[in-house]
Each structure stands twice: as structure tokens, then as C-alpha cells.
Amino acid sequence: MTLKRLQTDILILGSGGAGLFAALHAHQSDPSLSITVAVKGLLGKCGCTRMVQGGYNVALAEGDSVERHFMDTIEGSKWLSNQDLAWTLVTGAVERIHELENELGCFFDRNPDGTVHQKAFAGQTFDRTVHKGDLTGIEIINRLAEQVWARGIDRLEEHRAIELIRTADGRAIAGVLMIDMRSGEFVFVQARAVLLATGGGPTMYKYHTPSGDKSCDGLAMALRAGLPLRDMEMVQFHPTGLLAGTGTRMTGTVIEEGLRGAGGYLLNGRNDGSDEPGERFMQHYDARQERATRDIVSRAIYSEMRAGRTSPNGGVYIQMHHLGPDKVRKQFKGMVERCADCGFDLAGGLVEVVPTAHYMMGGVIFEPDCRTVLEGLFAAGEDTGGVHGANRLGGNGVANSTVFGGIAGESMARWLQEHGDWRGPDEAAIRESIAMHEAPFAPAAGEQAQQHGSGDIESIREALFDCMWDDVGILRTAQGLQRAQGRLAELEAELSRIRLRDDLPGGRAFNLSWHDLLNLRSLVTISRVIATAALAREDSRGAHFREDFPETGDLPNSTYTVVRARDARGGNVTGNTAGIEVGDNDSESNSESNGRESQTGDFTLTREPVNFTRVRPGETIL
């Protein structure tokens, strides 16, 4: 076994909006710190922030306010958000958008009078979404990457993080174990502070928006390291993913929300065997029609699909031509070109769409300064839970990443002034993790050294797609969730039996089958967590809808789910996070205090009360 060892003061996992903002703010706070950004792909060329089309929510215009943005966020979350985190989001967005424009050089669309143009997005009471056409994420990431390069911040590109390594006593993080994908070698990076900002990426569903390299690695590592995850049942489906057939990866990619905000119509199919469109249907589901929140529109589309009122590929249609083809081409140039590449005329015709898994509201429990319960580990972006509750408003995602990424950078630099000691790693944990990740290359006990190829991996991937879409998707029932739990356990066992070859030219260097297998391991693990949390929540909130429990429940007594691994090495991390006591769930006192603990297989689940720190259900701060 070859293990390379590196050191850095601050290690940032991920190069999206959260990771790059963290690097810049940490450097600004203390230029003497060594800062390293580790990324699975290439810095500036991968991740979800780059793929953002719609824009960035921020209260700038006359008549709008951070209080109004806050109330939209809380009501959109179905009162499950951590309100201190939501307040940090909406207030920090104002500062961050000015930083993006005035310091980093982003050019956002303007009004004729020179003010920043803000477009309409669903679920909001004010047009507050700042954008660069419909390619906002590229503008933000290009400018951030330029600034990171200019400051000489270190990069570990094509390095895959595989394990958060704690100290031998389990009280703090010592560093991160990685695979250098270019050579296949293992690398341990010792760091005084680590930021988890790998992004979520619900690519375990048949239709999904993130790129295939997004596989919930950060959440899976956090779970194995003993950290608590909250709201994991809350997986957001974007209502309008492009539906271009099974032969293209373009299927599932986002047809942005601004189209519906601008006045686009959703039409069903006729259910008579023809390819002709049917009628607008959103008026049957919500008074806001196409501008209802994403969860409502996704359920409406899925209901039309189940009723057989579909387009030729099994979805529904979006129509824009009634707004004027020239106007559509001007306002949504990127969308028009993307649809044309797949044979659709967005400006003058109809485009087939389907709900597509887009964002994970759940994640690691963290505080407003981005600390977690594990000393030395910080978290920001889609790896975290609590900001969005049960439903994220479109445009709040990139705001979340950039706001909390900047905070994380400042917090780590400040924290290191008082907690700057190097901590030795648990060497046994490193050895165990290497053995686990090398296991696919060793013949399984009692069997011939028969090597299995990517075909086995592909069949498991397709089975995972079907399982999650059918039973842990937009509409859920206890029966379907229990069926999914069993199927996911089978898929996990199948993954453990796959064997790969490293004796061919190239060996483990850029061994895509190996990394596909590791992606699926993470996805199946987090899929099991999603199913566990969804089965436990016996009400319907936001993105989580139980057909057997369709009522919202008692809002003033709202609770959120917390899932922990039962077999985390060194035990689960305990401490006080975000004002909620996150205790050792094997203890009698904690069990008595919440009375809602359950253990299912590999996980322990508790229900924690929502702390309404700023406004209670039925009230407003406006």
C-alpha cells in the first residue's frame, strides 16, 4: 500500500460556490494560511454551481426587503427551516451580491435605468432573482475561479475525498483520505480545519439534473464519521427537466424556472394516442398555477403522468410561444439553444418536460458560523441541512452556497487563531478505509478470481434509478418505502460482490469502473437514509408527500428528522449544534427527552422540535 501524505492549514472539499468563496474569504482573513481546494474534477469546470441557470435571490429592489425574503423562505420551507440559518441567508445575500459584482467582476443583467434586473421565480411574493441571462452559474464560477487562481491558492484536482479521518480519541477531525484519480494512489491530507462543501447531487433518481460525478460523497463520509444528518427525506424535484428520450444525458437537465415565472404554460397530453397537446392543468392543483412552488408543480405533473395524460416520451409540455417567439429567444437564449440541440423549438413550439431530482434540502447539521459537532470540521452549501427546511425556493440555492461559503472561510481563519494545533490521525481508521476502498480489486472469499465489468455496475445503477423513482420519489407510501428499503439493501449487497481489474494497462489510474462503483456506494448509502427518514415522517411537508398521510400536521409542534449511523467508527459525535442538543442516542436520558427515537438497521433516527426563534406559524415579521 502506497500512501502519500500532505499538510495544509485549511482543506476545502469542493470547488462550487461554497468552496471557492470559502477559499477567498479565508485567504482574505489571513493570507499567511496555506489553503488547499480539493475537487473530484477540474476547478471551475465541474460541480452544480456552474450549472445554475435561473439566478440568485436577494432583496435589492424598492418595495422588497430582507424581511419579505425571509418570510417567503420560511413559508416555502413549510416551517421546518432553522430560522437563524434562514435569516443569515437572506441578510448575507445582500452583501454577497454586491461582492460578486463590485469585487469579483460578475456582470448581471441590468434594467434600462442601470439597476440590476430581477426576474420572477415561483413561490415568491416579489421579483428578486438576479441573473446573467439564463447562464448565471457560469458567470459566478468563472469569476470565482479566476480570483482563486490569482491568489495562488493550492489545488488538488482530480482528487476524490473518500473518508473524514478523526483523531484517535474521535473528538476532532485530523484530515481527509483521498484517491488521486490520475494515479489511483491514496493520499492523506492532514489539515487543521476542513470544510465539507462537496455538494449533494441526488443522482440516484431516474431523472436528475446534476452531472453524473455528483454522488453524495460528502454526506456519505459525514454519516460514516458519526455526524448527524437532518431533513434527509426532503429531496427537491425541479418540475421541468428536459425529456428528450432515453438515448441522451440531456434528459433530466433543467428547463429553468424563469420560463414559468415569465408566464410559460404547462400542458398535458390528450391520452388518446396522439402527439397533440391537451390543456393547461395547473389551475386544478393551485391558484398560483405555473408559479406555484416546485413541490406543488412537480406533484401536479406526476399526477398527470400517472393518469396517462402524457407527451410521447411520458411527460408533459411547456409552452412559451404565446409570449412571442422573439421575446423568448432574447430572454432565454441558452434555453432555446439547449432545446434546439435536442430537436425542440422552445420559442415557437412545445418542449417535453418531466420532474427531475434537483436538490437535497437535508444534510449535515451545522451552525450559522458553519461549525459542525466535530471539532475542526465546517460545512457549507448543499452538504448542509436546515437552511431550506422542506422546500427550497428557486434562486435560494446559489445564495446559500455563496453566503455560507464566505462565512465558512472567515470562521475557519478565526477559529485557527485559537485552535491551531495539528492533530494526529487515527492510523487504524486510515488503514481500514483503504482496505474497504481496495476491496473490489481482491477476489471475494470462496469464489474464483472472476472479474466483473461495468455491466454489473450499470445494471445496479438502473435498478437504483427505478427503485428511487418508483418508491422514494415524488409521491410516497409506507408500502413503497418499505419495499425500497429491502431493494436498497439488496443493491448494497450486490455492490459488495463486484470485482474489478487493476492489472490492465493503466491499472488504477483513471479507473472509471472503480469510481463508478464508489459513486454507487455513496448513492445507495444516502438513498437508504432518505428512505428511512421518509418512512419515519408520517405527514406531508414540501418535497415530502405521503399519499397515506397527506395532511401537513401540526405546524406549531413541527419536528425535523435526524439520522445517524449506528456503526460510525469511534461512535457518533455529540455536542450542541444550531441551538439543538445533538446527543448520544444510545443514552437513556436523551431517549427520554425526545421520546421519538427509533433504530432501523444501520441507522438511528430521532425527531427534534423546530425552534421558532424569530416567527411562529400563523405570524409574520412584516
Query: How do residues 209-246 score in pLDDT, each as one tens digit?
Result: 998 889 999 999 999 999 999 999 999 999 999 999 88
The 10 Å Cβ neighbour count of residue 612 is: 16
pLDDT at position 249? 84
CB 277 within 8 A of CB 315: no
Q: What residue spans define the domains of the chain?
A: 238-357, 435-536, 555-609
For residue 343, give the C-alpha cell. 430537436
CA distance 525 to 563: 12
Name the catalytic one among 238, 338, 476, 499. 238
Q: What pTM, to 2 d.p., does this model score?
A: 0.93
- List, for residues 525-584, the tens digit of each pLDDT value: 999 999 999 999 999 999 999 999 999 989 999 999 999 999 777 677 776 544 444 444
Q: Note if 260 is an active site residue.
A: yes
Q: In a 3-state reduction of DSSP, which class is residue 111? A: coil
CATH level 2 (architecture), domain 238-357: Alpha-Beta Complex (3.90)
For residue 371, give the C-alpha cell. 461549525
Name the catalytic one among 260, 515, 528, 544. 260
pLDDT at position 188? 98
Residue among 155, 162, 291, 282 at smallest CA distance from 216: 162
Query: How do strand 377-379 and strand 185-196 relate by DSSP bridges?
Result: parallel
Q: Which residue is listed with cell 436498497? A: 488
Q: Which residues of the chain have pLDDT under 50?
A: 448-450, 577-595
CA distance 537 to 544: 9
- Note the helical H segments in 472-555: 478-497, 512-536
pLDDT at position 579? 42
Per-position DSSP letters for 199-240, written without gaps between them: ----TTSSSB-S-TT---HHHHHHHHTT--EE-TT-EEEEEE
CA distance 135 to 4: 39
CA distance 564 to 599: 10
CA distance 294 to 285: 12
- List, for residues 52-87, the tens digit of each pLDDT value: 878 999 999 999 999 999 999 999 999 999 999 999
pLDDT at position 322? 96
Q: In a 3-state reduction of DSSP, which class is residue 98? A: helix
Give the bridge partners for 354, in sequence order: 241
Q: Out of 3.30.70.1050, 3.40.50.970, 1.20.58.100, 2.40.340.10, which CATH number does the structure's domain 435-536 have?
A: 1.20.58.100
Residue among 312, 313, 323 at smallest CA distance from 290: 323
CB 6 within 8 A of CB 122: no
